[in-house]
Amino acid sequence: MNDYKSGFVTVIGRPNVGKSTLINHIIGQKIAIMSDKPQTTRSRIQCVYTTEEVQIIFLDTPGIHKPKYKLGEYMLKAAEGTLKEVDVIFFVVDATEKFGGGENYIIERLKSTSKPVILVINKLDLIEREQSLPIIASYSDKYKFAAIVPISAMDGTNVEVLLDEAKKLLPNGPQYYPADMVTDQPERLIIAELVREKVLHSTEDEVPHSIAVDIDEITKRDNGDNYIRATIYVERESQKGILIGKKGSMLKNIGQLSRPEIEMLLGTKVYLDLWVKVKKNWRNSLGAIQDFGLGSD
């Protein structure tokens, strides 16, 4: 075990660059929720990757963006707060997007840390391979990266190469978590996030960003099944109507989409009881943000 490597890696980047997809691929199961809508991840999610040679504790962070609400301020603080707490930083960028103000903002933040940074150019599956060369050159001019690895988090291309580069930068250390542990997140939080993901997939406009999900009850029934009651909170009555849908059709669809993944997580049949309530302007209320377990870091 003298040669065993272990340490912490934060995964940062702008919204919707594929951070959660990368984490889920590495861990081998769904921990972080995914959506084509920006600002999906709201809190730091700690995931654990373990082999016989290395244990890497990943922090999947909210996308770095200009905040419009107190919730956004918390998300930005959660993302930037990891930069000095870890051993290695993955800076994930989208190969299909041009370098812009968001990327420049992150690079300026990186200049304040002495931690090694690996540039991860994601979505290699969406471009021709030779198109990655000018991207590599443009970023190399702006920051001294410890390594640059083009990958596809979707199909796994070069992800093993990325893990090898991270391993080189990690210190020798102990195995912090049991080998079979993949996250430190409680089941309640993962279930709430899975439901929120299905709302993101099912709704449009500003409804997705105004919702929060709280698990009110998880009860094991005599037959071994789980009864779960969850409340989806929105900010306006009109949003409540959208989420419920005509004769409850939208809420029923969200439940049908959520149930299989929750059953896979728990290993049991699940009866999912969904409710919708209004909590006005909760994204600007520090108390409400903390009630949802988001603002306590």
pLDDT of residue 43: 47
Q: Does the pTM of the predicted model rise above 0.85?
A: no
pLDDT of residue 42: 43
pLDDT of residue 151: 97
Helix (H, G, I), strand (E, B) or coil at 267: coil
Based on the structure, what is the number of domains in the chain? Answer: 2
Do 275 and 249 belong to one domain?
A: yes
Strands, sheet with 212-220, edge to edge from the N-terminal-most edge strand: 212-220, 226-234, 270-278
Q: What is the CATH number of the domain that holds 111?
A: 3.40.50.300
How far apart (Å, rounded) are the C-alpha atoms in residues 20 and 35?
Answer: 9
Domain residues for the domain of 286 are 187-291
pLDDT of residue 44: 54
Tell which of 141, 169, 197 closes a domain.
169
HSE-CB at 149 with a 13 A cutoff on CA atoms is 24
Tell which of 134, 169, 204 closes a domain.
169
Q: Would residue 75 count as lying in a domain?
A: yes
How far apart (Å, rounded) are the C-alpha atoms in residues 95 and 120?
Answer: 9
* Sign of the C-alpha dihedral computed for residues 220, 221, 223 and 226 taken in this order: negative
How far apart (Å, rounded) are the C-alpha atoms in residues 190 and 97?
Answer: 30
Q: Would residue 212 count as lying in a domain?
A: yes
Answer for the pair 245, 253: CB distance below 8 angstroms, yes or no: yes
Residue position matching structure tokens 């309530």: 277
Residue 265: both structure tokens together? 């997580």
pLDDT of residue 64: 54
Nearest to 9 by CA among 162, 141, 142: 162
pLDDT of residue 69: 45
pLDDT beneath 50: ranges in the chain:
33-43, 65-72, 74, 295-297
pLDDT of residue 34: 46
What is the 8-class DSSP label of residue 81? Answer: T
What is the 8-class DSSP label of residue 69? Answer: S
Which stretches of the chain are DSSP H helices? 19-27, 70-80, 101-110, 132-140, 159-169, 187-202, 237-244, 249-266, 286-291
Residue 230, beta-bridge partner list: 215, 274
Do 30 and 88 belong to one domain?
A: yes
List of residues 6+ apart from 22 with CB closer than 8 A: 11, 90, 92, 120, 122, 151, 153, 159
Q: Would residue 282 count as lying in a domain?
A: yes
Do 96 and 211 belong to one domain?
A: no
Q: Give the model confidence (pLDDT) of 171-205 as tens digits.
A: 999 999 888 888 877 788 888 888 988 888 888 66
Q: What is the CATH number of the domain that holds 233?
A: 3.30.300.20
